[in-house]
Chain A
Amino acid sequence: MTVTNCPSCGGQIQFAIGSSAVVVCEYCRSVVARGDRKPEDLGKVAAIIETDSRLRRGGTGRCRGVGFQLTGRTQMKHPSGGVWNEWYAAFDNGRWGWIAEAQGKFYLTFASPKVKPPPISALRIGKAVPEVAGMVVYEIAEAEMVAAEGEIPWRFEPGGQYEYADLSGEEGKFATIDYSEEPPLVFAGREVEFEELGLDGSGARPAEKQVKGIALSCANCGGRLDLVAPDQAERVICPNCGGAHDTTQGKLRFLHVLKRKKVEPQIPLGRRCKFYGDEYVVAGFMQRSVHFDIHYYWTEYLLYNEKRGFRWLVQSDDHWSFVRPVPAGEVTDSGEHVEETPANIEVAKTISWRGKSFKIYQTAMAKVEFVVGEFYWRVEEGEEVATADYIAPPEGLSKEVTTGESREINYSHAKYLTPEEVEESAGVTGLPRPAGVGTMQPFPGPNLLLPWAWFVAALFVLAILFAVTSPNRVVLKESYDLTAPLGTTDPEVPAGATSRVIFTPSFELTGRRNLVIEGSSAVSNSWVYVDGDLVNEGSGALETFDLPIEYYSGSDGGESWSEGNQKRRVSLSSMPKGKYALRLEAQWPPGASPPFLHVQIREGVFRIPHLIRAFLILSIIPLIMLIRYLVWESSRWADSDFSPYKSASAGDDEDDE
């Protein structure tokens, strides 16, 4: 420990940590750096803006088994006006950790001197930086160092501007590249939960002093302003008069009255809601719009939970979704991009997040139409952001890109909620029910594809088994010349006869096997009609059938044609085991020569029509569901410029116009 005097006021200052670079004098707020011979005064900094941070200088904690002490912090001001804390943790193993605290989240990083990042001009929002473990750039901005306290491991100048880029990766990985120095410095680590810091009582704000919410008065109308997250709110809009206030300097500062057409939120501000096991308070409400042929409006409720931070509840066409932020580093795109996009942002046709693929639904410039309540950024009516919405029902991913003083990309994940679920969670009633299909609304019917596929597979396995085991035995095969006597006692067939009765020899049937009786005759432009009886010679049981054999052919205008068949087949159900004979009565047209008749009976024949019938019956219900699903999906995509259901001809018509 080195004890010395402030070169500005003479007050005593301590360099408690051997590797610290500067100390902020508690008396005069001068930034004092270690010098070769004597301490150096780098200038004064502003007093810390009280943000009700959950951390305290001087506190101790333990992270991943290594103890640390919070020695100091700086406060950095974002171009949008927001302020965040950067705490400095001196670890017992001699390392310094940076703990960035913003919007209720904590990011613990360590210097990575071996990483050589590319120049800032080479960075692109939304693109991965291979040198920094492939993490994705989600913000490029310039911060101003506005306040500081305690002992700090780097030499800074009060009021200095620092260019930086923030990157995110999967599983909470985080990195920041500091371009204020040459070469640029990389700090890499990850997002951590407050509990992971293992802070003891000295390092954390006492529970009883944690601000749950405060009530202020509007500077314009005197109306009550309830802040649920006063340490993170940057903008508050009075619900009574629309007076916009800034809260970034630790106090309420009136800006102006917003011109607007008032929109009533269906869930009141301050209402406590429970979603996925966590309780949230409705902090803010806004209405946004996009413009295509007409204006489309939707509303968003900003929810706050002290542990989880901020979430959104979005209502569009009376469909609801619960939305939470997602690190840009966890999203990968397909590589194929949309051609025309708002503000020329890069928009992929599909993106992936946690193994799930999302398809582009719409791109647009979203504009804030109305806003009331508390927000964590300096929201203004009329502000616009380029958006791209992706869907994978019942989920969605939204990409918002801001350009301007800071370039930033934000991804958020949405999960569909029914009005009933929102009513139950928010304790409200009477929410309007949606009329059409929501963009993320899941299809209400069952997914029968898998069970249908299993059944079809089982059906074909059964069919193959039966086909292989069918005997297909010929039990009778006879041919008859209908012009000749069939037996020694048969008389001659008289001239002009048009029918003949035949009895076949007896044959045995084994039972429990179907029968196929086939009759054929070489008729040509003629017919022979066979009326048959299959007779059990023992019991007399019989089954009648007919075989209408006819065949016609000719030529018409050089084209030949044919109709009918010289063979006819009939299938019969199994007959009991026994001895059988066929009685056949053949008829033919007058004047025609009696034809030859061939008869064959087979037993145990595999029947394909049964298989087809079973397949069709199995498929009816899935087919109906498929049609319903296609109609549903077509309706879902009706308002999208990227609908897979829009016909090519519709696209050609648009081109012609």
Chain B
Amino acid sequence: MKKLYVAFGLLVLAVYGVVMWLGLDFHQTKRGKMPQSARSRQGGYRSYWHTGYYGGK
């Protein structure tokens, strides 16, 4: 049991080190991609600049 805990502890330290090194976080966010069609339009998604305050996307 002691050996198992030592192995577990080393794993926790390793995971902590990796998380901190890679800058990972556990916040619930969504990743996605802006569609090419929106990006390729002149001005891209910035066309929303003019209509955004109506809440549209």
Contact = CB atoms under 8 A, between A and B. Distances in A.
Interface of A: 445-448, 451-452, 455, 458-459, 462, 466, 487, 489-491, 493-494, 497-503, 512-515, 535, 539-545, 570-574, 583, 585, 587, 604, 607, 610-611, 614, 617-618, 621-622
Contact of A543 (B29, B45, B50): B29
Contact of A514 (B13, B24, B32, B36): B24
Contact of B23 (A447, A489, A514, A583): A514
B interface SS class: helix
20 contacts: A447-B2, A448-B2, A459-B16, A462-B20, A489-B50, A494-B53, A497-B54, A499-B55, A502-B52, A503-B46, A512-B21, A512-B23, A540-B33, A540-B35, A540-B36, A542-B34, A570-B27, A573-B27, A604-B23, A610-B20
Given A499-B55, A614-B16, A513 B2 contact: no
B31 to A, nearest CB: 5
A574 B31 contact: no
A573 B25 contact: yes
A397 B52 CA distance: 84
Given A540-B39, A585-B52, 5 more contacts: A448-B5, A459-B13, A462-B16, A540-B35, A573-B27
B54 to A, nearest CB: 7
Interface string B9-53: 100110111011111110101111111100100000110111011
B27 A545 contact: yes
A610 to B, nearest CB: 6
A445 B25 contact: no
A614 B25 contact: no
B27 to A, nearest CB: 5
B34 to A, nearest CB: 4
Contacts of A498: 55
A535 to B, nearest CB: 6
Nearest to B44: A537
A502 B12 CA distance: 41
Nearest to A570: B27
A614 B52 contact: no
B40 to A, nearest CB: 10
A617 B12 contact: yes
Contacts of A501: 48-49, 52-53
A169 to B, nearest CB: 39
A618 B12 contact: yes
A446 B50 CA distance: 67
A611 B19 CA distance: 11
A545 B9 CA distance: 33
Nearest to A621: B5
A621 B13 contact: no
The number of chain B residues touching the other chain, given as a range, is 35 or more
Contacts of B27: 545, 570-573
A446 B31 contact: no
A364 B42 CA distance: 97
Contacts of B32: 541-544
A541 B31 contact: yes
Most buried by B among A447, A451, A500, A545: A451
A621 B29 CA distance: 31
Given A543-B31, A545-B29, A617-B12, A497 B53 contact: yes
B30 A610 contact: no
Contact of B2 (A451, A512, A541): A451
Contact of B13 (A570, A607, A614): A614
A608 to B, nearest CB: 11
Nearest to B2: A446
Interface centre among B2, B23, B31 (most CB of A within 10 A): B23
Nearest to A571: B25
B33 A541 contact: yes
A571 B45 CA distance: 24
A333 B8 CA distance: 42
A451 B9 contact: yes
A458 B11 CA distance: 12
Contacts of A494: 53
A403 to B, nearest CB: 48
Given A499-B55, A500-B52, A455 B13 contact: yes
A627 B57 CA distance: 55
Given A542-B34, A573-B23, A499 B54 contact: yes
Given A491-B50, A545-B29, A462 B23 contact: no
B1 A490 contact: no
A308 B2 CA distance: 37
Given A455-B13, A574-B23, A585-B55, A445 B1 contact: yes
A462 B22 contact: no
B3 to A, nearest CB: 9
A537 B46 CA distance: 11
Contacts of A621: 5, 8
A159 to B, nearest CB: 66
Contacts of A587: 55
Q: Determine which residue in A513, A515, A617 has the highest number of CB atoms from chain B within 10 A of its CB, and name it.
A: A617
A496 B46 CA distance: 24
